[in-house]
């Protein structure tokens, strides 16, 4: 798997965060009160066809029959899946459109995700505190842009640990739209993906990597992404001698954070200024009680930021370094 494919696999899983609420629901049929499918003035409502989920890690790619006839601006979104759902992501592509249909998409992407761009922001799914990990919607006046002429694509990810197939699963995505006149700034994503680690069996593993910012950007939110073996996440800005200048995130990991990451937010009128040449180190710690090691993409170690101006998906190369200390 090359670096671009690794980044897009990471981004697909990060949409468990960026797509907001991924509510597990054992019901197979949508509620009769749900809005109709398609694009309206205020929302995108999309649903996968029914599909079966075999035991284990399973991805389904769905190319919809919708090609946008205008620029769309997504402010927040949510998803609904059956039990075992890890994320349902909304993407768009205008570089490799396909005949509408659904098929399994593997971790090496079959080349699919290289041509996709994320189309969803985070959703507010409850809670009132500023530190509530689920509060991931964009600030007022900000949105992710889906350009006119883009085909909408869904990807559903399941981790089916039941040992038997899940039958007739159907996932749904709802994305809230803004009017173009309401959009002050479109937002992109800045991602540093450490895929070099090996989480050893029966013990604790720590992995650190450093990314060097390649252009001036403004960040409005920062968060990390790990999976169920995660036990701690840390994000620091460091100097040229690898010494910490400031600590931005430093917290124990909880299972909830897989789909609703704990984050730090900055006001749209006072964003965190990323300057070319700045260096950021993110450190992931895992505790594995099992007898089998885990590697990317079954586990992950990613630092992510929502940034503007919109440059699409910015890959800040994560260079592995020796961890400073075990939390």
Fold matches, 3-27+38-186 and 188-321: yes
| pLDDT at residue number 140 | 87
Q: So what CATH class is 3-27+38-186?
A: mainly beta
DSSP conformation letters of 197-238: --B-SSEEEEEEEEEE--S-EEEEEEEEE--TTEEEEEEEEE
| pLDDT at residue number 135 | 43
SS3 content of the chain, % helix, strand, coil (to 5): 10, 45, 45
Q: Report whether 263 contacts 303 (CB < 8 A).
A: no
Q: Which band of pLDDT confidence, cut at 50, 70 and 90, is reported for residue 2?
A: low
| pLDDT at residue number 280 | 98
Q: Report whether 125 contacts 62 (CB < 8 A).
A: no
270-324 pLDDT, tens digit each: 999 999 999 999 999 999 999 999 998 788 899 999 999 998 889 999 999 988 6
Spatial separation of the C-alpha atoms in residues 182 and 185, rounded to whole Å: 9
Tell me: domain 188-321, CATH 2.60.120.230, correct?
yes
Q: Where are the domains of the chain?
A: 3-27+38-186, 188-321
Mean pLDDT along residues 94-114? 75
- The H or E element containing residue 18 is helix 3-18
Query: Would the pLDDT of 187 be above 70?
Result: yes
How far is the CA of 286 from the CAs of 97, 126, 202, 237, in angstroms? 39, 28, 10, 22
Mean pLDDT along residues 126-144? 56
Spatial separation of the C-alpha atoms in residues 200 and 151, rounded to whole Å: 41
Instruction: Kindly tell me the burial class for residue 43, based on how many C-beta atoms sit within 10 Å of its own C-beta (0-12, 13-18, 19 or more).
Output: middle
In eight-state DSSP terms, residue 282 is E
Closest CA to 275 of 302, 301, 319, 245: 245
Mean pLDDT along residues 43-55? 94
Of 17-31, 195-209, 253-267, 273-287, the poorest mean pLDDT is in 17-31
| pLDDT at residue number 125 | 29
- What are residue 153's phi and psi, to 5 degrees? -130, 140
Q: Report whether 190 contacts 314 (CB < 8 A).
A: yes
Q: How far apart are the first and last CA of the chain?
A: 31
pTM of the predicted protein model = 0.76
Mean pLDDT along residues 2-20? 52
Query: Would the pLDDT of 93 be above 70?
Result: yes
Which tokens go with 131? 């530190």
| pLDDT at residue number 50 | 96
Of 160-164, 181-185, 229-233, 290-294, the poorest mean pLDDT is in 160-164
Q: Which band of pLDDT confidence, cut at 50, 70 and 90, is reported for residue 193?
A: very high
Residue 132: CB atoms within 10 Å: 15
More confident call, 327 vs 298: 298
Q: Are strands 263-265 and 217-225 parallel, antiparallel or unpaired?
A: antiparallel
């Amino acid at each position: 798997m090359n670096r671009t494919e690794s980044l897009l696999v990471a981004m697909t899983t990060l949409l468990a965060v960026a797509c907001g609420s991924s509510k597990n629901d054992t019901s197979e049929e949508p509620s009769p009160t749900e809005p109709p499918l398609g694009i309206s003035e205020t929302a995108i409502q999309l649903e996968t066809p029914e599909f079966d989920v075999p035991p284990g890690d399973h991805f389904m790619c769905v190319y919809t029959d919708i090609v946008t006839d205008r620029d769309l601006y997504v402010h927040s979104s949510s998803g609904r899946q059956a039990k075992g759902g890890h994320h349902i992501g909304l993407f768009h592509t205008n570089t490799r459109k396909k005949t509408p249909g659904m098929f399994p998409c593997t971790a090496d992407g079959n080349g699919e995700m290289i041509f996709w761009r994320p189309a969803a922001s985070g959703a507010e799914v409850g809670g009132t505190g500023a530190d509530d990990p689920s509060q991931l919607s964009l600030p007022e006046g900000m949105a992710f842009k889906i350009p006119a002429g883009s085909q909408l694509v869904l990807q559903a990810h399941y981790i089916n640990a039941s040992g038997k197939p899940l039958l007739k699963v159907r996932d749904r995505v709802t994305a809230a739209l803004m009017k173009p006149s309401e959009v002050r700034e479109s937002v992109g994503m800045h991602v540093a993906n450490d895929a070099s680690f090996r989480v050893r069996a029966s013990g604790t593993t720590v992995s650190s990597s450093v990314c060097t910012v390649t252009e001036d950007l403004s960040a409005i939110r920062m968060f990390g992404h790990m999976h169920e073996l995660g036990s701690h996440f840390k994000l620091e800005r460091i100097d040229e001698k690898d010494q910490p200048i400031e600590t931005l995130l430093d917290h124990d990991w909880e299972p909830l954070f897989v789909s609703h990451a704990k984050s730090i937010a900055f006001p749209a009128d006072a964003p965190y200024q990323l300057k070319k040449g700045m260096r950021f180190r993110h450190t992931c710690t895992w505790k594995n009680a099992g007898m089998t090691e885990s590697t990317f993409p079954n586990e992950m170690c990613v630092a992510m930021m929502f940034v503007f101006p919109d440059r699409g998906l910015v890959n800040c190369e994560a260079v592995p370094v020796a961890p400073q200390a075990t939390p």
